Each structure stands twice: as C-alpha cells, then as structure tokens.
Structure 1
C-alpha cells in the first residue's frame, strides 16, 4: 500500500461539510442528547490527545508543544509524567499495560514509548502533504493488533497501520469537516471519530459507517475518549477536561 500512495493522496477529491453551532446541552439530528457533566481545569497546556489506561481507571494525556506524556486520574490530576523526544504530538493511545503510541503531526511519525524502561521507537509513515494537515488521531485496534490513524484533511483519510507504521489499508472519509481524534471502544467494537472544525463526534463501525452522531460546543476539541455513556474531550485552546453524558 505504501507504493504510489503519494499519487493517491493527490488524486483524492476534497469534500465540505456544514459547520454546526451548538450549546452545552443539545439534541443532534439523530435525537441523541449530550449533557455537560464536568469541565475541570488541568495543569497541562495545549491539550491535543487523550486515552484511558488499560483498565480505564486513569487517563493518558498529551499537549501539542511540550515533549511530555502525562498520566492523570479521571479528573485530570497529574500523577506521573514521561519525557519524550518529540514535540507537536497530537493524539495518544495505550496498548496494553506497557506501551503507548503517539502521533506527531508535521513529521508524520509514530512514537512508541515502552513504559517498562522508558525506551522509544519512532517510525516514519511516509505520508506527504501540507505541514498543518498531517496526522491527528490514533487508536489501538486490539482485535487485530493494529492501529487506526487519521490524516486531518487534503485529503481526509483513516488508515490502518501495523506496529512498524506500515500502511495496511486506507479510506477516504467524506462525511466530516476534518479528522481530529479517534477512539476505538472494544466493548462494542465501534470507532469514535472527532471533527474539530465541524464540532461533531461520530460513532461508527469499523467500516466507517455512521451509527450515531453527536454535536458538541465549539471548543476546538482535538482528543476524545469514551467510557460507557461518558465522553471525555480535550481542547488545545483551553486547559480543561470536559466530560459529557450520552442521555
């Protein structure tokens, strides 16, 4: 799949999606209501990525311009931090108890951090394009032991890659304004897709077909994680951890 990928990226057509204005309590076109439960200040700047640890009792969080990965409780209180070699980190995913993967937007790299010895491996994906329209989302697919990866726009793509950052497959995603955060929920095998510019969250199957959709306030959200009926969101314009309830 890597052969000829640049030509494919250049040839894929762009699509546009209407902006949606909303409040903290909204009813989406599918009739599903989101209610803001909490909005908690946290001591991490320019929040871009969030995921749960393996048993969903803690959160992993990254910020865009700080080469650190944070472990927090479910209210965003920092419990531990790890220094890493990369800036411009966009999203994070946990892989079991001992491995993390982070996307780096501009360089199109994937950083793997081994929590046992703090060792790093950094892999190039080979994706090209505009610097600020690079990699945004990443999430672990344990049923296949692969990763989903999202490219923000021009074109908007979701890719499936292995642990060597080799591209196994890819799909053009036309129903979003842009592709920001991703989250795979193993409890029902669904993929959650966050659109920062469209202020929307989409619950999809693994073939990228929409099951449900939710509108959210215009807070420039970049990272998403889901636990039961709770949706956790972070934004690079606010030092806040927001939790919404699916009513």
Structure 2
C-alpha cells in the first residue's frame, strides 16, 4: 500500500507526522485522464486525448460521457451556482465554459507566458466563497493564478516547492488549495496565496489531476489510466 506522509508544514507545530492512506486503486476506462473534479457524489474526469468529459461514480464507474469539441484539455471544475463546467486548454491558454451536457457557453483567453505549448495551464478550480477561479501554470514559470470568472489574472504567485505542478482543487472545508506534482510525485496543500502548508509524498506516476470530496482525495494518472483514492486522517 502506498502511503503519503507529511514531510513539513508552515510552522513548528506542523512537523508532527500525518498521513494520507491509499484506500483504493481503480483502473479507469478513460483514455489519458488529465483533470478531475468532484460534485454531488460523482467525479468529472476530462480526457486529454479525446476531449471528452466522463461523469463517474466515486469508484470510477463511467455513468455518462459528455462530448466536447476540444483537445489538449488539462483541467476541469464545476461552478454549481452558475450551472457551468469550466475546462482549460493548455496550448491555447483558453478557459472554456460548458453546461452540464457539454453545450458550449463561452470562452476566454488567459494571458501569461509559457516557454512551450505543453508547459502551460494544467488545472483549474472554483472558490465558491469568493466567486473566483484558481489555475496553475505547469512550469517556466510555475505559477498559481487567481482569476476572475472571465479569465482575467487578478494575482499570480510563484510556486517553487515542486518540479512541476499538474493539478489543483479547492478545499472548501479548510479554505485552501491542494496541488499535485507529476514530476515530484507529491501532493501539496497550500494557501490561496501560494504558501506551502503541507507536503505529502505519494509515489503516484504521472499524477495529472486532484479532487477533494468529503475526507477523501482523488488522484488520476494519465499514464496508467488509474484513479487513486486516499483517505485523509486527522
């Protein structure tokens, strides 16, 4: 069993051991799952290869396939109060809104630099308390971006604690963000200003997306087409 162990935090009191325990490993019938979010007892997983969104149970069983007209999708989140799904295209730096059936609503350009087409936007999440989005830029530069709903950059924060960043989600209960790194094989809990709070080493290969639902963390690997389910221990 893989165990993700806390290495360090932002204060001396945070140095005690804590764990994310792997409770399930599930093979997905989804090609190259690259982003994940959780909503109403379901997961929504986007495929980088075919651009489809897959609505699944919490155990990864596909219950609905939502087709889109986009490829190179690396992140997904839901905006329930606005009845929208948001996805991001990495190479074109596009924020795309769909309804829950996949119908196109509108699209916005997210400004910013990226050295290569495949080192750009890697994840998106929605902070429902402040009606804003957070996105991450994979590397060169590694950044946390605070966005308006129209994709305008309000703030940007450098992320220096990982080799790259490949997925992000918002933790409503703790009012913070969780980020996963593909290259570092780790999960990080951070503040909404990009300050590192905790680090968990997972050993997951090609972890590309992360979601929080209740006391569980869901991670997808595009390389292995696998869903990893971790339980958060107090």
Same fold (TM over 0.5): yes
**Which one of 55, 71, 82 corresponds to residue 87 of structure 1?**
71
Contact 1:222/1:235, CA 8 A, preserved across alignment: yes
Which range moves more in the overlay, 110-119 or 204-213?
Answer: 110-119
Query: CA–CA distance in 1 between the matches of 2:98 and 2:57?
Result: 20
What secondary structure, in the 3-state scheme, does the structure 2 residue paired with 1:122 have?
Answer: strand
Greater strand share, structure number: 2
Per-residue deviation, 1:116: 6.5
Q: Note the residue ranges of structure 1 that are not aligned, 5 or more in a row.
A: 1-22
1:108 pairs, out of 93, 101, 107, with 93
- For 1:63 and 1:109, the matched residues in 2 are separated by 16
Aligned with 1:148 (options 134, 137, 140): 134
Secondary structure of 2:76's counterpart equals strand
Cross-structure match for 1:216: 202
Aligned partner of 2:173 in structure 1 is 187
Moved segments of 4+, more than 4 Å = none
CA separation in 1, counterparts of 2:205 and 2:61?
Answer: 21
Tell me the residue number matched to 1:78: 62
In structure 2, list runs of 5 or more residues that go unmatched. 9-16
Gap change, CA 1:133 and 1:238, over 3 Å in 2? same
Match for residue 170 of structure 1 among 133, 156, 159: 156
1:119 aligns with 2:104: yes
Change (3 A) 1:69 1:116: closer
Q: 1:61 aligns with which of 27, 41, 45?
A: 45
Contact 1:135–1:149 under 8 Å retained in 2? yes
In structure 1, how many angstroms separate the alpha carbons of the residues matched to 2:195 and 2:104?
Answer: 37
How many residues align? The count is 223
Do the aligned partners of 2:2 and 2:21 also contact (CA within 8 Å) in 1?
A: yes
Structure 2 distance, partners of 1:211, 1:126, is 28
Indicate the SS of the match to 1:175. Answer: coil
Structure 2: distance between partners of 1:38 and 1:218: 13
Q: Which moved more, 1:202-211 or 1:37-46?
A: 202-211
CA-to-aligned-CA distance 1:8-44 (integer Å, 9 cap, x gap): xxxxxxxxxxxxxxx7125332422222211111210
Change (3 A) 1:118 1:143: same
CA RMSD across the alignment: 1.6
Report the Cα distance in structure 2 between the residues aligned to 1:39 and 1:87, rounded to whole angstroms: 27
Q: Could you tell me the TM-score, scaled by structure 1's length?
A: 0.85
Query: TM-score normalized by structure 2?
Result: 0.90
**2:119 aligned to 133, 136, 142, which one?**
133
